[in-house]
Chains A and B, each alone.
Chain A
């Protein structure tokens, strides 16, 4: 508890994760302060998605500790559902519920997890849809929406739970280029409102504009971290320079 002070909302200590004999994380330490936006970059297979998924226990750590808002995540912990309710997550492939309308997608967890009334949940859902700019899609089914619209619904669904933290796992990687901006705009607005965000993304423009801290990961470890200006303009580590030269080359 000692280091989980008032400001740190996420505290990760010596995190190791194995998938069988493959080691995805090799001792990651990271604290995220309330209201900060952290962007994680790195080559594929570097463990950035695994790290993100450990924060809401979609992956269970092999070794080490994950503290969120003063509580340690633990598989035996019956509070895991209430902790997860405070952590919104946005997935690369949206993962909307295809059998429910957009509105019902956003209502469901409010009802069964938060115990809100149907009217209240629907009202919150409509507010969130307005916030992400597609209030007119409330009665559509996810399959009738474009990728960008689906991802904005996914963000609205997460926000409707009034989370304290938002996790983004490559939210624009599955989108056609012309739809990336509409999702990034929503994320940017969210960052300006002071949401605590941890984003795995390759969108360097977003990282420059929104991130308080950029983390470069490689081979299951945090190689370098700092302000966007530091990491992007003056990378200290060779691996960071190599990675940046590869993604900025085109």
Chain B
């Protein structure tokens, strides 16, 4: 039994661990992650359903075909979004008026439109229109004699970019804007003195960013980046509207074919839950490791 009166005064320079006093039973009850018990019940229930009920097992076998597409779509889209986000985030704090405003415009446009609408628009309007422009450009280059570039460009068809690639483009563009704000906040969280010290040593702005500011900024925003990765796993379900065969689309197909809605959507929900919970735990471990690090 530990009473709060047992706590000894701690010298100011004692290591942090010593300052965490032993928790009372009441505190332990208050702080215990009871919700994880609920998750555990769901996991056991799902396992029970899949192993004992043939229809659930069948649904799982069918739907899990889509896991690969869900994961690869998310990974590709997130990787591209990281690059777009870094560029747009740097653009937001650029001293160049044109670059700064272009970056801000991109971010505000994306944030002002629902993701579902953006996916429709990018995949079914923006991409075909861009292809059309390339085609016209190709025909023009062809006509002025540059047929070695013009020829291939002019022969581009509307199906040159398949829908699953368009889905990745749409998700990347959308999340690029979200990640841009994270990067910007991270960069601005680093004190001005770091940039001044780097510049005073003769580094260019780009060198100072790359070697001094960004390594610290990215460290600071890793948890936020992780959260957005988890969010993207869920939002990748939206690409099912483009008939991309991710788990949501496959579940819809299964439900439509068999009319087993309960089985299809229970399995679908549990698959997403499984992926996001595992990723959330990884993000938390990462966060804790960063906090526990002795470097300041």
Contact = CB atoms under 8 A, between A and B. Distances in A.
Interface of A: 56, 58, 81-82, 84-89, 91, 93, 95-99, 108-109, 112-114, 141-144, 154, 157-158, 161
Contacts of A91: 193, 196-197
B48 interface: no
A98 B296 contact: yes
Contacts of A108: 201, 211-212
A45 B295 CA distance: 34
Nearest to A84: B202
Given A81-B203, A85-B202, A112-B203, A95 B193 contact: yes
B194 interface: yes
B219 interface: yes
Interface of B: 191, 193-194, 196-204, 207, 211-212, 215-216, 219, 294-296
Contacts of A97: 194, 197-198, 212, 216
Contact of B196 (A95, A113, A142): A95
A150 B296 CA distance: 13
Contacts, number: 72
Contacts of A88: 200-201
Contact of A113 (B193, B203, B296): B203
Contacts of A157: 201
Contact of A141 (B199, B204, B294): B294
Contacts of A58: 196, 199-200
Contacts of B198: 97, 109
A99 B200 contact: no
Nearest to A157: B201
Contacts of B202: 81-82, 84-86, 109, 113-114, 161
Interface SS majority for chain B: helix
A99 B219 contact: yes
Contacts of A109: 198, 201-203
A113 B201 contact: yes
Nearest to B218: A99
B178 to A, nearest CB: 25
A81 B202 CA distance: 4
A81 B204 contact: yes
Contacts of B191: 95
20 contacts: A58-B196, A86-B202, A88-B200, A91-B193, A93-B193, A95-B194, A95-B196, A96-B197, A97-B198, A98-B216, A108-B212, A109-B201, A109-B203, A112-B211, A113-B203, A113-B207, A141-B294, A141-B296, A143-B295, A158-B201
Contacts of A143: 294-296
A109 B212 CA distance: 10
A141 B201 contact: no
A230 to B, nearest CB: 31
Nearest to A167: B200
Nearest to B196: A58
Nearest to A97: B212
A87 B295 contact: no
Contacts of B204: 81
Contacts of B212: 97, 108
A181 to B, nearest CB: 22
Given A108-B201, A113-B207, 16 more contacts: A58-B200, A84-B200, A85-B201, A88-B200, A89-B200, A95-B196, A97-B212, A98-B216, A99-B215, A109-B202, A113-B201, A141-B294, A141-B295, A143-B294, A143-B295, A161-B202
B166 to A, nearest CB: 39
B132 to A, nearest CB: 42
B147 to A, nearest CB: 41
Nearest to A87: B200
Nearest to B212: A97
A166 to B, nearest CB: 11
Contact of A84 (B193, B199, B216): B199
Contact of A99 (B193, B197, B203, B295): B295
Nearest to A113: B202
A87 B199 CA distance: 11
B10 to A, nearest CB: 21
Nearest to A110: B201
Lowest 4 CB-CB distances: which A-B pairs, in order?
A: A85-B202, A143-B296, A95-B197, A109-B201
A91 B200 CA distance: 10
A112 to B, nearest CB: 5
Contacts of A114: 202
A109 B200 CA distance: 10
Nearest to A81: B202
B208 to A, nearest CB: 9
Contact of B201 (A84, A99, A144): A84
